[in-house]
Structure 1
Amino acid sequence: MTGDVGLSRILLVISAGGIAGSLARYGLAEAVPHGTGGFPWATFATNMLGCCAIGVLLARLRPNSHPLLRPFLGTGVLGGFTTFSTFAVETERLLPDHATTALVYFFGTLAAALVATWIGDRVASR
């Protein structure tokens, strides 16, 4: 892929997509705050929406798609939008005093992420 479009162009579109995805994630987190010990709904929703979109993207992109589309949308926008590092930190912060919430959040997120990706793929494959 890098021979056709150039590594610098790929890095540029990934960066641009990452900025867009990160700003969207930040906006969602600000719109749906959670208190200490509360279920992190914004992060959960962000990751579910992102996983569903990844399923759609992988189902719809074709080998003849523009070579910068996948890096921009997949690695850039959706990579910047989803936040499994925040998911890990939030789980760790919940564990000492809110173990039940932490476990529901942890296992619920993993299961829901797989289901969301599958749904995105199935819907887009039709």
Structure 2
Amino acid sequence: MDDSIVIDNAGQPPVVMQFHDYREKSIPLESRAIQKIHGKRSITELQRPKGMDLRLAALVGIGGAIGAVARYALQQWLPADTLPWGTITANLVGSLLLGILLGAVAAGATIGDDVVLLFGTGVLGAFTTMSAFAVDSIRLAESNASSTLIMITTTILGSIALAWLGWRFSTSIIA
């Protein structure tokens, strides 16, 4: 059974989120070798959600590899003497770029799902990092509480603000 939720998007076209059930289905084993050994049998497998295929998963994986390497390079390049500037910068820049990309999609730009998956989910999903942010926050808190507060505030509020600015920028120039 498929369920859909429609989300009001502040005057923009509504966003429809679809949720798919994973259904079990029996697949007959037609292999002669298996039939000879075990007789004709069936196995149960999970049906993939509609629209999911290995090509799209590969796009996300390729994008993820690019984003992870880019974040690693940024973290090596920027000093982490007082604050983990690589993690902060990756989260801020990635949030801005994701806001621009998804704002363009929301405004009706012709950007294919492949591009959104490759760059949005893959590259920017791996480039931005909640886990490194969390670990950096814990490490920093052990030595400097005020710097920890600055990092947490800058990262969270800055990421939200920059994603919003990117979204507004895209929707204003495309609409």
| TM-score of the pair, normalised by structure 2 | 0.65
Quick one: which amino acid aligns to residue 51 of structure 1?
A: S
Q: In 2, Cα distance between the equivalents of 1:117 and 1:67?
A: 20
Asked if 1:117 corresponds to 2:151, the answer is: no
Q: Which residue in the other structure is 1:42 paired with?
A: 86
Aligned letter for 1:29? Q
Who wins on radius of gyration, i.e. which is larger?
A: 2
Residue in structure 2 matched with residue 85 of structure 1 by the alignment:
131
Which protein, 1 or 2, shows the higher relative CO under an 8 Å CA cutoff with sep ≥ 6? 1
More strand by share: 2
- Which aligned pairs between 1:1-126 and structure 2 lie closer than 5 A? 3=50, 6-35=52-81, 38-61=82-105, 62=108, 65-126=111-172
| Identity, % of aligned positions | 31
Q: Secondary structure at the match of 2:157?
A: helix
CA RMSD of aligned residues (A): 1.9
Q: Which blocks of at least 5 consecutive residues in structure 2 are unaligned?
A: 1-48
1:50 partner letter: G
Deviating runs (4+, > 4 A) in structure 1?
Answer: none
Deviation at 1:65, TM superposition (A): 3.3
Q: How many residues align?
A: 123
Query: Aligned partners of 2:160, 2:111: CA distance in 1, in Å?
Result: 25
Structure with higher helix content: 1
Question: Which residue identity does 1:26 align to in structure 2?
Answer: Y
Name the TM-score, length of structure 1 as normaliser: 0.88
